[in-house]
């Protein structure tokens, strides 16, 4: 496995924050855990997605797992409006 292999994000909805904090790092890199909204953001290797999701579903404190589409969203924007910053310069 190379250092820059494809990774995907999972949103794991949880019922027990303490259990998630102790155990989720076995399955991938824990990016964030929200105590208030009871979810965790987990990054895993894309080639182990199915296997990891099955293992996570078995945990009694996991309510639901969603795939994060953050890396598939377009982040380069173009605007048809002219740039007005030159009109407001000092």
Q: DSSP string spanning 1-51?
A: --TT--EEEEEEEES-HHHHHHHGGGTSEEEEEETTTTEEEEEEEGGGHHH
Query: Could you report the per-residue pLDDT of 56-68, keeping only the tens digit for each?
Result: 999 999 999 999 9
Q: Is the pLDDT of residue 51 over 80?
A: yes
pLDDT score recorded for residue 10: 96
pLDDT-based confidence at residue 75 (cuts at 50, 70, 90): confident
Q: Is the pLDDT of residue 88 over 90?
A: no
| Distance from the first to the final alpha carbon of the chain | 54
Q: Is the pLDDT of residue 41 over 60?
A: yes
CATH code of the domain made up of 7-69: 3.30.70.80
pLDDT > 90 in the chain, percent: 69
């Amino acid at each position: 496995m190379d250092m820059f292999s494809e990774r995907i994000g999972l949103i794991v909805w949880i019922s027990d924050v303490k259990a998630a904090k102790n155990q989720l790092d076995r399955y991938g890199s824990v990016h964030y855990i929200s105590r208030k909204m009871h979810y965790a953001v987990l990054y895993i290797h894309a080639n182990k997605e199915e296997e990891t999701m099955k293992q996570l579903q078995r945990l009694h404190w996991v309510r639901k797992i969603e795939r994060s589409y953050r890396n598939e969203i377009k982040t380069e924007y173009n605007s048809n409006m002219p740039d007005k910053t030159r009109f407001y310069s000092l």
